[in-house]
Structure 1
Amino acid sequence: MKKKTQSDAFMMGGNPKKRKLAPNPANSSADPAEPYPDHLGPTADACRAVRDDLMSLHGFPKEFLKYRRTNDRSQPSDATNEEEETVLDGLICTLLSQNTTDSNSRRAFASLKSVFPTWKDVLAAEAKEVEDAIRCGGLAATKALRIRGLLRGILERKGEMCLEYLRRLPVHEVKAELSQFKGIGPKTVACVLMFQLRRDDFPVDTHVFRIAKSIGWIPSGADREKAYHHLNKRIPDDLKFDLNCLLVTHGKLCQSCAAKGRDRKTRAPHESCPLTRYCCHSE
Protein backbone atom coordinates (compact mmCIF):
# COMPACT_ATOMS: atom_id res chain seq x y z
CA MET A 1 0.00 0.00 0.00
CA LYS A 2 1.28 3.42 -0.95
CA LYS A 3 2.29 5.52 2.03
CA LYS A 4 0.63 8.94 2.21
CA THR A 5 2.99 11.84 1.78
CA GLN A 6 2.70 15.39 3.03
CA SER A 7 1.72 16.36 -0.51
CA ASP A 8 -1.13 13.82 -0.49
CA ALA A 9 -2.42 15.18 2.82
CA PHE A 10 -2.37 18.72 1.47
CA MET A 11 -4.32 17.69 -1.66
CA MET A 12 -7.01 16.12 0.58
CA GLY A 13 -7.48 19.40 2.42
CA GLY A 14 -5.30 18.75 5.44
CA ASN A 15 -2.36 20.76 6.73
CA PRO A 16 0.81 18.64 6.57
CA LYS A 17 2.38 20.55 9.44
CA LYS A 18 -0.59 21.16 11.74
CA ARG A 19 -3.55 18.96 12.53
CA LYS A 20 -6.86 20.73 12.06
CA LEU A 21 -8.77 20.97 15.33
CA ALA A 22 -12.52 20.58 15.59
CA PRO A 23 -14.26 23.91 16.24
CA ASN A 24 -15.07 24.64 19.86
CA PRO A 25 -18.83 25.28 20.21
CA ALA A 26 -18.12 27.68 23.06
CA ASN A 27 -16.16 29.91 20.69
CA SER A 28 -18.69 29.91 17.87
CA SER A 29 -21.34 32.61 17.71
CA ALA A 30 -24.87 31.31 17.23
CA ASP A 31 -27.21 32.99 14.80
CA PRO A 32 -28.96 35.63 16.96
CA ALA A 33 -32.17 35.07 14.98
CA GLU A 34 -32.12 31.37 15.95
CA PRO A 35 -30.42 31.12 19.36
CA TYR A 36 -32.05 27.78 20.27
CA PRO A 37 -32.25 25.84 16.98
CA ASP A 38 -32.84 22.53 18.79
CA HIS A 39 -35.75 23.91 20.81
CA LEU A 40 -38.67 23.37 18.47
CA GLY A 41 -41.42 25.13 20.40
CA PRO A 42 -43.63 26.96 20.29
CA THR A 43 -45.45 25.70 17.22
CA ALA A 44 -47.99 27.86 15.42
CA ASP A 45 -50.77 25.59 16.72
CA ALA A 46 -49.55 25.97 20.31
CA CYS A 47 -49.43 29.76 19.95
CA ARG A 48 -52.95 29.81 18.59
CA ALA A 49 -54.24 27.52 21.35
CA VAL A 50 -52.73 29.67 24.12
CA ARG A 51 -54.05 32.83 22.47
CA ASP A 52 -57.55 31.37 22.26
CA ASP A 53 -57.49 30.07 25.85
CA LEU A 54 -56.38 33.42 27.25
CA MET A 55 -58.85 35.32 25.09
CA SER A 56 -61.65 33.13 26.46
CA LEU A 57 -60.52 33.82 30.01
CA HIS A 58 -59.75 37.55 29.86
CA GLY A 59 -61.21 38.90 26.64
CA PHE A 60 -58.94 41.30 24.82
CA PRO A 61 -57.34 43.72 27.34
CA LYS A 62 -58.94 47.16 27.05
CA GLU A 63 -55.69 48.99 27.78
CA PHE A 64 -54.25 47.75 24.48
CA LEU A 65 -57.33 48.28 22.29
CA LYS A 66 -56.16 51.56 20.81
CA TYR A 67 -53.10 49.83 19.38
CA ARG A 68 -54.91 46.82 17.98
CA ARG A 69 -55.09 46.51 14.23
CA THR A 70 -57.94 45.35 12.03
CA ASN A 71 -57.67 42.43 9.62
CA ASP A 72 -56.04 44.87 7.21
CA ARG A 73 -52.66 44.74 8.93
CA SER A 74 -51.44 47.92 7.24
CA GLN A 75 -54.12 50.02 8.91
CA PRO A 76 -54.60 50.99 12.58
CA SER A 77 -57.74 49.83 14.34
CA ASP A 78 -60.88 51.95 14.60
CA ALA A 79 -61.37 50.70 18.16
CA THR A 80 -60.73 54.17 19.57
CA ASN A 81 -61.19 57.77 18.55
CA GLU A 82 -58.19 58.90 20.54
CA GLU A 83 -55.55 60.79 18.64
CA GLU A 84 -52.67 58.48 17.79
CA GLU A 85 -49.73 59.16 20.07
CA THR A 86 -46.42 60.14 18.55
CA VAL A 87 -43.50 57.75 18.38
CA LEU A 88 -41.54 59.95 20.78
CA ASP A 89 -44.42 60.03 23.28
CA GLY A 90 -44.64 56.26 23.13
CA LEU A 91 -40.89 55.81 23.55
CA ILE A 92 -40.70 58.04 26.62
CA CYS A 93 -43.81 56.46 28.10
CA THR A 94 -42.18 53.04 27.68
CA LEU A 95 -38.95 54.31 29.20
CA LEU A 96 -40.90 55.52 32.23
CA SER A 97 -42.49 52.07 32.59
CA GLN A 98 -39.14 50.44 33.36
CA ASN A 99 -38.94 48.93 36.86
CA THR A 100 -42.31 50.18 38.03
CA THR A 101 -46.02 49.43 37.81
CA ASP A 102 -48.26 50.44 34.92
CA SER A 103 -50.25 52.83 37.10
CA ASN A 104 -47.11 54.56 38.38
CA SER A 105 -45.63 54.94 34.91
CA ARG A 106 -48.89 56.38 33.56
CA ARG A 107 -49.00 58.87 36.43
CA ALA A 108 -45.38 59.84 35.79
CA PHE A 109 -46.00 60.41 32.08
CA ALA A 110 -49.16 62.44 32.73
CA SER A 111 -47.31 64.53 35.31
CA LEU A 112 -44.40 65.12 32.93
CA LYS A 113 -46.70 66.28 30.13
CA SER A 114 -48.65 68.48 32.53
CA VAL A 115 -45.58 70.26 33.87
CA PHE A 116 -43.82 70.46 30.49
CA PRO A 117 -46.24 70.88 27.55
CA THR A 118 -43.50 70.24 24.95
CA TRP A 119 -40.36 68.11 24.83
CA LYS A 120 -38.37 71.29 24.24
CA ASP A 121 -39.56 72.44 27.65
CA VAL A 122 -38.23 69.23 29.20
CA LEU A 123 -34.82 69.75 27.66
CA ALA A 124 -34.72 73.42 28.69
CA ALA A 125 -35.69 72.68 32.30
CA GLU A 126 -33.35 71.94 35.19
CA ALA A 127 -32.74 68.24 35.76
CA LYS A 128 -34.23 68.49 39.25
CA GLU A 129 -37.48 69.86 37.83
CA VAL A 130 -37.81 66.89 35.49
CA GLU A 131 -37.01 64.49 38.33
CA ASP A 132 -39.73 66.04 40.49
CA ALA A 133 -42.26 65.72 37.68
CA ILE A 134 -41.70 61.97 37.28
CA ARG A 135 -40.85 61.05 40.87
CA CYS A 136 -44.06 59.03 41.30
CA GLY A 137 -42.75 56.58 38.69
CA GLY A 138 -39.62 55.63 40.63
CA LEU A 139 -35.93 55.93 39.69
CA ALA A 140 -36.58 59.59 38.93
CA ALA A 141 -32.94 60.70 38.68
CA THR A 142 -31.96 57.89 36.31
CA LYS A 143 -35.02 58.24 34.10
CA ALA A 144 -34.79 62.03 33.95
CA LEU A 145 -31.16 61.73 32.86
CA ARG A 146 -32.08 59.24 30.14
CA ILE A 147 -35.06 61.24 28.89
CA ARG A 148 -33.03 64.42 28.61
CA GLY A 149 -30.16 62.54 26.98
CA LEU A 150 -32.58 60.99 24.50
CA LEU A 151 -34.12 64.35 23.62
CA ARG A 152 -30.72 65.98 23.26
CA GLY A 153 -29.50 63.16 21.03
CA ILE A 154 -32.55 63.34 18.76
CA LEU A 155 -32.21 67.11 18.45
CA GLU A 156 -28.51 66.85 17.58
CA ARG A 157 -29.06 64.12 14.99
CA LYS A 158 -32.28 65.32 13.39
CA GLY A 159 -32.51 69.02 14.15
CA GLU A 160 -35.92 68.54 15.77
CA MET A 161 -37.43 66.45 18.55
CA CYS A 162 -39.43 64.12 16.38
CA LEU A 163 -39.24 60.40 15.63
CA GLU A 164 -42.04 60.13 13.11
CA TYR A 165 -39.49 59.31 10.40
CA LEU A 166 -39.14 55.87 12.02
CA ARG A 167 -42.55 54.94 10.61
CA ARG A 168 -40.96 54.81 7.15
CA LEU A 169 -37.96 52.67 8.10
CA PRO A 170 -37.63 48.87 8.01
CA VAL A 171 -37.45 47.10 11.36
CA HIS A 172 -33.68 46.58 11.39
CA GLU A 173 -33.10 50.30 10.81
CA VAL A 174 -35.56 51.26 13.56
CA LYS A 175 -33.66 49.00 15.96
CA ALA A 176 -30.34 50.52 14.93
CA GLU A 177 -31.66 54.07 15.35
CA LEU A 178 -33.20 53.59 18.79
CA SER A 179 -30.43 51.41 20.18
CA GLN A 180 -28.02 54.35 19.93
CA PHE A 181 -29.57 55.93 23.00
CA LYS A 182 -28.59 55.02 26.54
CA GLY A 183 -31.33 53.26 28.48
CA ILE A 184 -33.21 52.15 25.36
CA GLY A 185 -32.85 48.37 25.39
CA PRO A 186 -34.31 45.58 23.23
CA LYS A 187 -37.60 45.37 25.16
CA THR A 188 -38.24 49.12 24.89
CA VAL A 189 -37.43 49.06 21.17
CA ALA A 190 -39.71 46.06 20.65
CA CYS A 191 -42.57 47.82 22.47
CA VAL A 192 -42.23 50.87 20.21
CA LEU A 193 -42.18 48.59 17.17
CA MET A 194 -45.31 46.72 18.24
CA PHE A 195 -47.39 49.57 19.66
CA GLN A 196 -46.43 52.87 18.03
CA LEU A 197 -45.13 51.53 14.70
CA ARG A 198 -47.65 48.68 14.33
CA ARG A 199 -44.95 46.18 13.33
CA ASP A 200 -45.02 42.44 13.90
CA ASP A 201 -42.77 42.19 16.92
CA PHE A 202 -42.95 40.34 20.22
CA PRO A 203 -41.49 42.16 23.26
CA VAL A 204 -40.36 39.94 26.12
CA ASP A 205 -41.13 41.57 29.44
CA THR A 206 -40.92 39.88 32.83
CA HIS A 207 -44.42 38.35 32.51
CA VAL A 208 -43.88 36.97 29.01
CA PHE A 209 -40.44 35.66 29.97
CA ARG A 210 -41.71 33.88 33.08
CA ILE A 211 -44.72 32.28 31.37
CA ALA A 212 -42.75 31.29 28.26
CA LYS A 213 -40.36 29.36 30.49
CA SER A 214 -43.10 27.69 32.49
CA ILE A 215 -44.90 26.36 29.40
CA GLY A 216 -41.70 25.25 27.70
CA TRP A 217 -41.60 27.78 24.88
CA ILE A 218 -38.00 28.64 25.73
CA PRO A 219 -35.31 26.58 27.49
CA SER A 220 -35.25 26.83 31.28
CA GLY A 221 -31.81 28.45 31.12
CA ALA A 222 -32.75 31.02 28.48
CA ASP A 223 -31.94 34.69 28.93
CA ARG A 224 -34.23 37.56 27.96
CA GLU A 225 -32.38 38.63 24.83
CA LYS A 226 -32.17 35.13 23.35
CA ALA A 227 -35.78 34.47 24.37
CA TYR A 228 -36.77 37.56 22.38
CA HIS A 229 -35.05 36.29 19.23
CA HIS A 230 -36.37 32.75 19.65
CA LEU A 231 -39.98 33.74 20.23
CA ASN A 232 -39.98 36.26 17.39
CA LYS A 233 -38.71 33.54 15.10
CA ARG A 234 -41.26 30.95 16.21
CA ILE A 235 -44.48 32.88 16.80
CA PRO A 236 -46.51 33.64 13.63
CA ASP A 237 -46.72 37.34 12.84
CA ASP A 238 -50.51 37.39 12.83
CA LEU A 239 -50.60 36.11 16.44
CA LYS A 240 -47.85 38.23 17.97
CA PHE A 241 -49.84 41.28 19.03
CA ASP A 242 -52.83 39.58 20.65
CA LEU A 243 -50.71 36.85 22.22
CA ASN A 244 -48.25 39.31 23.71
CA CYS A 245 -50.95 41.54 25.20
CA LEU A 246 -52.77 38.53 26.63
CA LEU A 247 -49.63 37.01 28.18
CA VAL A 248 -48.76 40.33 29.83
CA THR A 249 -52.29 40.68 31.19
CA HIS A 250 -52.41 37.07 32.36
CA GLY A 251 -49.05 37.40 34.09
CA LYS A 252 -50.41 40.31 36.10
CA LEU A 253 -53.73 38.72 37.04
CA CYS A 254 -53.24 34.98 37.39
CA GLN A 255 -52.26 33.70 40.83
CA SER A 256 -50.34 30.70 39.53
CA CYS A 257 -48.51 32.67 36.83
CA ALA A 258 -47.78 35.80 38.88
CA ALA A 259 -44.32 36.59 40.17
CA LYS A 260 -43.57 34.96 43.50
CA GLY A 261 -43.99 37.17 46.52
CA ARG A 262 -46.50 39.55 44.91
CA ASP A 263 -49.88 40.41 46.43
CA ARG A 264 -52.22 37.69 45.17
CA LYS A 265 -55.47 38.57 46.94
CA THR A 266 -57.14 39.93 43.81
CA ARG A 267 -55.67 37.43 41.38
CA ALA A 268 -57.61 34.69 39.64
CA PRO A 269 -57.59 31.33 41.47
CA HIS A 270 -55.15 28.66 40.33
CA GLU A 271 -57.93 26.40 39.04
CA SER A 272 -58.99 28.99 36.44
CA CYS A 273 -55.58 29.20 34.77
CA PRO A 274 -55.78 27.55 31.34
CA LEU A 275 -51.99 27.43 31.03
CA THR A 276 -51.50 24.80 33.72
CA ARG A 277 -52.06 22.06 31.15
CA TYR A 278 -49.19 23.42 29.04
CA CYS A 279 -46.68 23.63 31.89
CA CYS A 280 -43.80 21.22 31.54
CA HIS A 281 -41.62 22.30 34.45
CA SER A 282 -41.70 24.57 37.45
CA GLU A 283 -39.65 27.73 37.79
Structure 2
Amino acid sequence: MEKKRKRKQHVARETKAKAKAVRVGPTRSDNVKDPFPSHTRPTPQECETLRDTLLALHGIPPDLAKYRKLQPTSDTAQPDPPEPVLDGLVRTVLSQNTTEANSQKAFATLKSSFPTWGHVLGADSKDVEDAIRCGGLAPTKASCIKNLLRCLRERRGELCLEYLRDLSVDQVKAELSLFKGIGPKTVACVLMFNLQQDDFPVDTHIFEIAKTIGWVPAIADRNKSYLHLNQRIPNELKFDLNCLLYTHGKLCRKCSGKKGNNQGKKCNDNPCPLLNHDKESVEL
Protein backbone atom coordinates (compact mmCIF):
# COMPACT_ATOMS: atom_id res chain seq x y z
CA MET A 1 0.00 0.00 0.00
CA GLU A 2 2.85 2.34 0.92
CA LYS A 3 4.63 1.52 -2.34
CA LYS A 4 1.51 2.34 -4.36
CA ARG A 5 1.15 5.71 -2.62
CA LYS A 6 4.78 6.59 -3.26
CA ARG A 7 4.46 5.55 -6.91
CA LYS A 8 1.40 7.79 -7.36
CA GLN A 9 3.23 10.71 -5.77
CA HIS A 10 6.23 10.14 -8.05
CA VAL A 11 4.03 10.03 -11.19
CA ALA A 12 2.19 13.17 -10.06
CA ARG A 13 5.49 15.04 -9.61
CA GLU A 14 6.69 13.95 -13.08
CA THR A 15 3.43 15.02 -14.69
CA LYS A 16 3.55 18.38 -12.95
CA ALA A 17 7.17 18.93 -14.05
CA LYS A 18 6.34 18.14 -17.68
CA ALA A 19 3.34 20.46 -17.67
CA LYS A 20 5.46 23.23 -16.21
CA ALA A 21 8.02 22.84 -18.99
CA VAL A 22 5.43 23.52 -21.70
CA ARG A 23 4.90 27.23 -22.39
CA VAL A 24 1.29 28.17 -22.91
CA GLY A 25 0.15 31.47 -24.39
CA PRO A 26 2.49 34.42 -25.06
CA THR A 27 6.19 33.72 -25.15
CA ARG A 28 7.00 37.00 -23.41
CA SER A 29 8.45 36.70 -19.93
CA ASP A 30 6.01 37.26 -17.09
CA ASN A 31 8.75 39.26 -15.36
CA VAL A 32 8.72 42.00 -18.01
CA LYS A 33 6.86 44.99 -16.65
CA ASP A 34 5.00 47.65 -18.60
CA PRO A 35 6.70 51.01 -17.89
CA PHE A 36 3.35 52.77 -18.40
CA PRO A 37 0.75 50.50 -16.75
CA SER A 38 -1.86 53.29 -16.51
CA HIS A 39 -1.60 54.07 -20.23
CA THR A 40 -4.34 51.78 -21.53
CA ARG A 41 -3.66 52.26 -25.23
CA PRO A 42 -3.49 50.63 -27.61
CA THR A 43 -6.46 48.38 -26.94
CA PRO A 44 -6.73 45.04 -28.78
CA GLN A 45 -9.61 46.47 -30.81
CA GLU A 46 -7.53 49.50 -31.81
CA CYS A 47 -4.72 47.23 -32.92
CA GLU A 48 -7.01 45.11 -35.04
CA THR A 49 -8.75 48.13 -36.60
CA LEU A 50 -5.47 49.82 -37.45
CA ARG A 51 -4.04 46.59 -38.84
CA ASP A 52 -7.05 46.23 -41.16
CA THR A 53 -6.88 49.88 -42.23
CA LEU A 54 -3.20 49.71 -43.15
CA LEU A 55 -3.54 46.28 -44.72
CA ALA A 56 -6.14 47.70 -47.12
CA LEU A 57 -3.89 50.69 -47.85
CA HIS A 58 -0.49 49.01 -48.23
CA GLY A 59 -0.69 45.24 -47.98
CA ILE A 60 2.25 43.31 -46.54
CA PRO A 61 5.39 44.03 -48.63
CA PRO A 62 6.61 40.83 -50.35
CA ASP A 63 10.09 41.14 -48.84
CA LEU A 64 8.52 41.04 -45.37
CA ALA A 65 5.68 38.62 -46.11
CA LYS A 66 8.18 35.80 -46.66
CA TYR A 67 8.94 35.92 -42.93
CA ARG A 68 5.34 35.29 -41.89
CA LYS A 69 4.79 32.17 -39.81
CA LEU A 70 4.18 29.16 -42.00
CA GLN A 71 0.69 27.85 -41.48
CA PRO A 72 -0.08 24.11 -41.61
CA THR A 73 -1.09 23.11 -45.11
CA SER A 74 -2.18 19.98 -46.90
CA ASP A 75 -0.14 20.92 -49.97
CA THR A 76 2.62 18.50 -50.91
CA ALA A 77 4.96 21.32 -51.99
CA GLN A 78 7.73 21.97 -49.49
CA PRO A 79 8.21 25.56 -48.32
CA ASP A 80 11.48 27.34 -49.00
CA PRO A 81 14.05 26.75 -46.25
CA PRO A 82 14.15 29.58 -43.70
CA GLU A 83 16.91 32.16 -43.83
CA PRO A 84 19.79 31.14 -41.53
CA VAL A 85 19.58 33.01 -38.24
CA LEU A 86 23.16 34.27 -38.58
CA ASP A 87 22.32 35.71 -42.01
CA GLY A 88 19.31 37.44 -40.51
CA LEU A 89 21.34 38.91 -37.67
CA VAL A 90 24.03 40.30 -39.99
CA ARG A 91 21.36 41.62 -42.35
CA THR A 92 19.77 43.47 -39.43
CA VAL A 93 23.11 44.94 -38.34
CA LEU A 94 23.63 46.26 -41.87
CA SER A 95 20.16 47.85 -41.86
CA GLN A 96 21.05 50.23 -39.04
CA ASN A 97 21.07 53.95 -39.90
CA THR A 98 20.65 53.50 -43.64
CA THR A 99 17.98 52.95 -46.28
CA GLU A 100 16.52 49.55 -47.00
CA ALA A 101 17.92 49.59 -50.54
CA ASN A 102 21.45 50.35 -49.33
CA SER A 103 21.39 47.72 -46.59
CA GLN A 104 20.15 45.05 -49.00
CA LYS A 105 22.89 45.95 -51.46
CA ALA A 106 25.51 45.84 -48.69
CA PHE A 107 24.36 42.38 -47.59
CA ALA A 108 24.30 41.05 -51.15
CA THR A 109 27.82 42.40 -51.80
CA LEU A 110 29.12 40.92 -48.54
CA LYS A 111 27.71 37.48 -49.37
CA SER A 112 29.04 37.56 -52.93
CA SER A 113 32.49 38.76 -51.81
CA PHE A 114 33.00 36.04 -49.19
CA PRO A 115 31.88 32.42 -49.78
CA THR A 116 31.32 31.69 -46.07
CA TRP A 117 31.14 33.49 -42.73
CA GLY A 118 34.48 31.86 -41.97
CA HIS A 119 35.99 33.82 -44.85
CA VAL A 120 34.50 37.03 -43.42
CA LEU A 121 36.02 36.25 -40.05
CA GLY A 122 39.44 35.61 -41.57
CA ALA A 123 39.38 38.60 -43.92
CA ASP A 124 41.05 41.94 -43.29
CA SER A 125 38.69 44.46 -41.75
CA LYS A 126 39.35 46.80 -44.68
CA ASP A 127 38.08 44.21 -47.16
CA VAL A 128 34.88 43.68 -45.14
CA GLU A 129 34.41 47.45 -44.89
CA ASP A 130 34.78 47.81 -48.67
CA ALA A 131 32.13 45.14 -49.24
CA ILE A 132 29.54 46.87 -47.06
CA ARG A 133 30.52 50.51 -47.65
CA CYS A 134 27.34 51.32 -49.59
CA GLY A 135 25.34 50.67 -46.39
CA GLY A 136 27.09 53.41 -44.44
CA LEU A 137 29.06 53.26 -41.16
CA ALA A 138 31.24 50.58 -42.73
CA PRO A 139 34.02 50.56 -40.09
CA THR A 140 31.54 50.29 -37.21
CA LYS A 141 29.42 47.60 -38.84
CA ALA A 142 32.42 45.59 -40.05
CA SER A 143 33.85 45.63 -36.53
CA CYS A 144 30.50 44.48 -35.10
CA ILE A 145 30.17 41.64 -37.62
CA LYS A 146 33.74 40.38 -37.14
CA ASN A 147 33.40 40.59 -33.35
CA LEU A 148 30.13 38.66 -33.54
CA LEU A 149 31.74 35.93 -35.63
CA ARG A 150 34.84 35.75 -33.45
CA CYS A 151 32.83 35.46 -30.22
CA LEU A 152 30.50 32.90 -31.80
CA ARG A 153 33.45 30.74 -32.87
CA GLU A 154 35.00 30.98 -29.39
CA ARG A 155 31.76 30.22 -27.53
CA ARG A 156 30.14 27.63 -29.81
CA GLY A 157 32.96 26.28 -31.93
CA GLU A 158 31.06 27.01 -35.15
CA LEU A 159 29.63 29.99 -37.02
CA CYS A 160 25.97 29.09 -36.65
CA LEU A 161 23.05 30.48 -34.66
CA GLU A 162 20.46 27.83 -35.49
CA TYR A 163 20.49 26.68 -31.85
CA LEU A 164 18.54 29.84 -31.01
CA ARG A 165 15.44 28.29 -32.62
CA ASP A 166 15.11 25.97 -29.61
CA LEU A 167 15.36 28.70 -26.98
CA SER A 168 12.74 30.87 -25.30
CA VAL A 169 12.47 34.60 -25.95
CA ASP A 170 14.31 35.43 -22.73
CA GLN A 171 17.06 32.92 -23.52
CA VAL A 172 17.54 34.35 -27.02
CA LYS A 173 17.81 37.85 -25.60
CA ALA A 174 20.37 36.68 -23.06
CA GLU A 175 22.42 34.93 -25.75
CA LEU A 176 22.46 37.77 -28.26
CA SER A 177 23.13 40.41 -25.61
CA LEU A 178 26.55 38.79 -25.11
CA PHE A 179 27.67 40.11 -28.50
CA LYS A 180 29.01 43.67 -28.53
CA GLY A 181 27.02 46.01 -30.77
CA ILE A 182 23.84 43.89 -30.79
CA GLY A 183 21.14 46.06 -29.21
CA PRO A 184 17.51 45.45 -28.20
CA LYS A 185 16.01 46.50 -31.54
CA THR A 186 18.33 44.17 -33.48
CA VAL A 187 17.47 41.31 -31.14
CA ALA A 188 13.74 42.02 -31.51
CA CYS A 189 14.03 41.95 -35.32
CA VAL A 190 15.77 38.57 -35.23
CA LEU A 191 13.11 37.26 -32.84
CA MET A 192 10.22 38.37 -35.04
CA PHE A 193 11.58 37.72 -38.54
CA ASN A 194 14.06 34.85 -38.23
CA LEU A 195 12.83 33.00 -35.15
CA GLN A 196 9.12 33.73 -35.73
CA GLN A 197 8.56 34.66 -32.11
CA ASP A 198 5.86 37.07 -30.99
CA ASP A 199 7.88 40.25 -30.62
CA PHE A 200 7.39 43.85 -31.73
CA PRO A 201 10.56 45.76 -32.70
CA VAL A 202 10.30 49.55 -32.45
CA ASP A 203 12.27 51.45 -35.05
CA THR A 204 12.23 55.22 -35.63
CA HIS A 205 9.14 55.07 -37.88
CA ILE A 206 7.06 53.02 -35.45
CA PHE A 207 8.23 55.09 -32.48
CA GLU A 208 7.19 58.38 -34.09
CA ILE A 209 3.81 57.01 -35.19
CA ALA A 210 3.12 55.50 -31.76
CA LYS A 211 3.70 58.89 -30.15
CA THR A 212 1.66 60.72 -32.78
CA ILE A 213 -1.44 58.54 -32.35
CA GLY A 214 -1.12 58.33 -28.57
CA TRP A 215 -0.20 54.68 -28.23
CA VAL A 216 2.65 55.66 -25.92
CA PRO A 217 2.95 58.71 -23.63
CA ALA A 218 4.78 61.76 -24.91
CA ILE A 219 7.57 61.14 -22.38
CA ALA A 220 8.28 57.64 -23.71
CA ASP A 221 11.62 56.80 -25.29
CA ARG A 222 12.13 53.99 -27.78
CA ASN A 223 13.13 51.36 -25.22
CA LYS A 224 10.12 52.05 -22.99
CA SER A 225 7.86 52.19 -26.05
CA TYR A 226 9.14 48.73 -26.99
CA LEU A 227 8.28 47.36 -23.55
CA HIS A 228 4.86 49.02 -23.49
CA LEU A 229 3.76 48.04 -27.00
CA ASN A 230 4.87 44.45 -26.52
CA GLN A 231 2.61 44.23 -23.48
CA ARG A 232 -0.38 45.92 -25.13
CA ILE A 233 -0.43 44.51 -28.68
CA PRO A 234 -1.94 41.00 -29.03
CA ASN A 235 0.61 38.42 -30.15
CA GLU A 236 -1.39 37.38 -33.19
CA LEU A 237 -1.31 40.96 -34.54
CA LYS A 238 2.31 41.83 -33.84
CA PHE A 239 3.91 40.73 -37.10
CA ASP A 240 1.39 42.27 -39.48
CA LEU A 241 1.00 45.47 -37.47
CA ASN A 242 4.75 45.93 -37.17
CA CYS A 243 5.35 45.47 -40.90
CA LEU A 244 2.45 47.77 -41.79
CA LEU A 245 3.42 50.56 -39.38
CA TYR A 246 7.01 50.38 -40.61
CA THR A 247 5.84 50.58 -44.24
CA HIS A 248 3.45 53.43 -43.50
CA GLY A 249 6.13 55.34 -41.61
CA LYS A 250 8.38 55.25 -44.66
CA LEU A 251 5.63 56.46 -46.97
CA CYS A 252 3.72 59.05 -44.94
CA ARG A 253 5.23 62.24 -43.55
CA LYS A 254 1.98 63.47 -41.96
CA CYS A 255 1.85 61.06 -39.03
CA SER A 256 5.54 60.95 -38.20
CA GLY A 257 6.63 64.54 -38.69
CA LYS A 258 9.23 63.36 -41.21
CA LYS A 259 9.76 64.75 -44.70
CA GLY A 260 9.16 61.35 -46.20
CA ASN A 261 10.26 60.47 -49.74
CA ASN A 262 8.92 60.26 -53.26
CA GLN A 263 7.53 56.80 -52.55
CA GLY A 264 5.06 58.37 -50.19
CA LYS A 265 3.03 60.24 -52.82
CA LYS A 266 0.07 57.89 -52.37
CA CYS A 267 -0.09 58.76 -48.67
CA ASN A 268 1.07 62.35 -48.73
CA ASP A 269 -1.58 63.49 -51.21
CA ASN A 270 -4.39 62.14 -49.02
CA PRO A 271 -5.43 62.44 -45.36
CA CYS A 272 -3.46 60.04 -43.21
CA PRO A 273 -5.80 57.31 -41.90
CA LEU A 274 -3.76 57.00 -38.71
CA LEU A 275 -4.59 60.53 -37.64
CA ASN A 276 -8.24 59.51 -37.25
CA HIS A 277 -7.19 57.52 -34.21
CA ASP A 278 -7.67 60.23 -31.58
CA LYS A 279 -5.16 60.62 -28.81
CA GLU A 280 -6.15 60.04 -25.22
CA SER A 281 -4.55 62.03 -22.40
CA VAL A 282 -3.21 59.77 -19.67
CA GLU A 283 -1.92 60.85 -16.27
CA LEU A 284 1.15 58.88 -15.32
- TM interval, short-chain normalised: 0.7 to 0.9
Residue 261 (structure 1) shift: 3.5
Alpha-carbon distance between aligned partners in 1 of 2:55 and 2:86, rounded to the nearest angstrom: 30
| Residues 217-228 of structure 1 aligned to structure 2 (within 5 Å) | 217-228=215-226
Partner of 1:231: 229
Residue 237 (structure 1) shift: 0.3
Residue 276 (structure 1) shift: 1.3
Partner of 1:200: 198
Alpha-carbon distance between aligned partners in 1 of 2:172 and 2:91, rounded to the nearest angstrom: 18
Partner of 2:49: 49
Identity of aligned residues (%): 59
Q: Which moved more, 1:138-147 or 1:269-278?
A: 269-278
Q: Which runs of 4+ in 1 moved over 3 A?
A: 78-83, 261-266
Alpha-carbon distance between aligned partners in 1 of 2:253 and 2:269, rounded to the nearest angstrom: 6
> What amino acid sits opposite 2:193 in the alignment?
F
Residue 69 (structure 1) shift: 1.9
Judge conservation of contact 2:251–2:261 (CA < 8 Å) in 1: no
Stretches of structure 1 that go unaligned for 5 or more consecutive residues are 1-30
Alpha-carbon distance between aligned partners in 1 of 2:263 and 2:82, rounded to the nearest angstrom: 35
Partner of 2:108: 110
Question: SS of the residue aligned with 1:59?
Answer: coil
Residue 271 (structure 1) shift: 2.6
- Higher-Rg structure is 1
Alpha-carbon distance between aligned partners in 1 of 2:77 and 2:68, rounded to the nearest angstrom: 8
Residue 62 (structure 1) shift: 1.5
* Cα deviation digits, residues 16-49 of structure 1 (max 9, x gap): xxxxxxxxxxxxxxx8521001111110000001
Residue 257 (structure 1) shift: 2.7
Residue 117 (structure 1) shift: 1.1
> What amino acid sits opposite 2:62 in the alignment?
K
Alpha-carbon distance between aligned partners in 2 of 1:225 and 1:32, rounded to the nearest angstrom: 13
Of Structure 1 and Structure 2, which has the larger fraction of its residues in helix? 2
Partner of 2:59: 59
TM-score normalised by length of structure 1:
0.82
Judge conservation of contact 1:32–1:226 (CA < 8 Å) in 2: no
Structure with the bigger RCO (C-alpha within 8 Å, sep 6+) is 2
Alpha-carbon distance between aligned partners in 1 of 2:78 and 2:104, rounded to the nearest angstrom: 18
Partner of 1:273: 272
In 2 relative to 1, CA 269–79 (structure 1 residues): closer, same or farther, beyond 3 Å?
farther
RMSD of aligned alpha carbons: 2.1
Alpha-carbon distance between aligned partners in 2 of 1:116 and 1:242, rounded to the nearest angstrom: 34
In 2 relative to 1, CA 79–106 (structure 1 residues): closer, same or farther, beyond 3 Å?
farther
Residue 226 (structure 1) shift: 0.8
Judge conservation of contact 1:123–1:148 (CA < 8 Å) in 2: yes
In 2 relative to 1, CA 233–157 (structure 1 residues): closer, same or farther, beyond 3 Å?
same
Judge conservation of contact 2:251–2:263 (CA < 8 Å) in 1: no
Stretches of structure 2 that go unaligned for 5 or more consecutive residues are 1-30
Judge conservation of contact 2:107–2:132 (CA < 8 Å) in 1: yes
Matched, 1:168 2:137: no
